[in-house]
Amino acid sequence: MHWPTPGSENLAPCGEQAKTQRPFDELPVQKVFAGRLETRLDQLAVEEPLEIRLVYSSVGERREHSISITMRTPGHDPELAAGFLLSEGIVRGSRDIEAIRHSGPTSETARSHNVVRIELREDLAFDLKRLERHFYTTSSCGVCGKSSLEALEVFAAPLWSPDEFQIAAEAIHQLPDKLREAQAVFDRTGGLHAAALFNADCNLLEIREDVGRHNAVDKLLGSQLLAGKLPLSMCGILVSGRASFELVQKALVAGIPLLAAVGAPSSLAVELAKRYQMTLVGFVRGRRFNIYSGTQRIAINAEVIP
């Protein structure tokens, strides 16, 4: 397998290409404060399209096809692409990928680092029709292009023992502050979502940021896929926004038994979590949170009120 060493996809050459690979950009803005108008430089999170191209075997020959264009924050693009393939059920592990790398522009106007090309191993069966997704998704919703509800649920890792992963309620209370402290780009822009992997001791193992919630999770899971660390049965995942159906699905595919969100879950997210006996926690803020599924994985030292 051939992919860059961690972080090397951020090492773009000088000039315009290097500028577009930064996760934030600076531009002059008019700021109004204390009755004054002043021009200052402001830092904004970069949002650019990423095309994911797949090379696969079909009827004895190698074919290449564009399978998705998503808006994302540049950086960790191979991980984002790998996480996307994992979430869509195209790959199950790093051995399914022969090579993954940035490709050149597909047109005169395309930017060279906005295309990632993934080559599947030759004997991996793949049917393009399985990928029932339009070729454009927004940075805020990864399922908007899905053509049917049946296509939403890809597959989940084998069910784990409910008692295998447990975490103290006190540890969950600490997660948002730890995530916020680790958000380097958010400090500059205030405009990025984040996803973090953590263990039962409340240690953050990995974090990724992006303008899109589902992109941040794909980058995080892609990093673990490429490192050969799946399934992640002894880890939880924390997301900075709400918990949607797709984020629960992505966590399940990676074998993660607990998803915690700073925001609210959707009804479909709760339904899916309950179906697969996953622990789903929402509104993790200050000294409170809600448990929507899988209470048995959280050690709670509190008075039980009927």
- What residues are annotated to the active site? 141
Peptide bond connecting 49 to the previous residue in cis, omega within 30 degrees of 0: no
| 281, 290 contact by CB (below 8 A) | yes
- The contacts of residue 266 (CB under 8 Å, 6+ apart) are 242, 243, 244, 245
The number of beta carbons lying within 10 Å of the beta carbon of residue 227 is 12
C-alpha–C-alpha distance, residues 225 and 300, integer Å = 32
The residue length of the chain stands at: 306
Tell me how many degrees the CA angle 104-229-121 measures, rounded to the nearest 5.
45
3-class secondary-structure state, position 278: coil
**Structure letter (DSSP) for residue 113:** T
Coil vs helix vs strand at 302: coil
Q: Which amino acid is it at 157?
A: A
